[in-house]
């Protein structure tokens, strides 16, 4: 009988140990997940800033952005390496010509990142798609350092709401435009799509 009781206690102790280990493992996994999400939150802001600076510096001498294309950034190894396509070079007419291996660019949350210019070439844009709501709000309320390069002119969230500076030409023509910098409550209202489906377009001059 004593032997049986000891076996029973041993089984209970093993079961308790397993439950404790499961709880610890779940807790550690959650902590790692939170830590990685925090890293992603910082990384996506850095990617946006670095991409903006790379474009601004690459085309500063041109006086406009009409010739802006992703291949130029790849050729010059410009832009954030964590999101840029691989550089590809080939010989054409005896000269080495470099560009991007692919034309796809993605931010840290695996959403599409796109660049382009306005019809007159006086501004360029950066578009981040596939953003979760909280990250969309963080990026929308980003504190832009206007000494870093090209200035932010205006911003559009989910193709519906626009932000611009108080004295920008856009503010005078768009009565529905919000004033930059964006307030958290306004950004939260605009970044209202479920899941990883929010989109922001920033225009710089």
Angle at which helices 133-140 and 2-58 cross, to 10°: 40
Residue 177 has a pLDDT of 82
pLDDT tens track, the chain, 205 positions: 445 555 556 766 666 656 655 555 544 444 444 455 688 999 999 999 999 999 999 999 998 999 999 999 999 999 999 999 999 999 988 899 999 999 999 999 999 999 999 999 999 999 999 999 999 999 999 987 654 445 899 999 999 999 988 766 665 556 678 888 899 999 999 999 999 999 999 999 8
150, 55 contact by CB (below 8 A): yes
Q: Structural domains in the chain?
A: 2-63+106-204 (3.30.1690)
DSSP secondary structure letter of residue 127: E
> The pTM is what?
0.78
Residue 149 has a pLDDT of 47
- Listed in sequence order, the residues at least 6 apart from 32 whose beta carbon sits closer than 8 Å to its beta carbon are none
Residue 35 has a pLDDT of 57
Cα distance from N-terminal residue to C-terminal residue, the chain: 86
57's enclosing H/E stretch is helix 2-58
26, 32 contact by CB (below 8 A): no
Nearest alpha-carbon partner for 106 in 76, 84, 135, 80: 84
| Collapsed DSSP state (helix, strand, coil) of residue 79 | coil
Q: How far apart are CA 148 and CA 142, in angstroms?
A: 14
Residue 157 has a pLDDT of 97
97, 91 contact by CB (below 8 A): yes
């Amino acid at each position: 009988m004593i032997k049986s009781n000891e076996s029973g206690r041993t089984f209970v102790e093993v079961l308790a140990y397993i439950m404790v280990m499961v709880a610890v493992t779940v807790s550690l996994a959650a902590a790692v997940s939170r830590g990685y999400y925090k890293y992603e939150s910082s990384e996506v802001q850095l990617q946006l800033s670095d991409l903006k600076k790379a474009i601004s510096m690459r085309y500063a001498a041109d006086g406009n952005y009409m010739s802006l294309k992703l291949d130029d950034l790849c050729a010059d190894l410009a832009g954030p390496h964590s999101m840029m396509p691989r550089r590809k070079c080939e010989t054409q007419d005896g000269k080495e010509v470099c560009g991007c291996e692919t034309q796809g660019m993605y931010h840290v949350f695996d959403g599409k990142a796109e660049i382009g210019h306005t019809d007159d070439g006086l501004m360029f844009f950066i578009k981040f798609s596939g953003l979760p709501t909280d990250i969309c709000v963080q990026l929308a309320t980003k504190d832009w350092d206007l000494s870093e390069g090209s200035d932010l002119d205006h911003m559009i969230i989910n193709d519906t709401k626009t932000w611009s500076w108080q004295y920008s030409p856009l503010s005078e023509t768009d009565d529905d435009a919000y004033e930059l910098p964006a307030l958290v409550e306004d950004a939260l209202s605009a970044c209202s799509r479920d899941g990883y489906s929010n989109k922001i377009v920033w225009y710089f001059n």
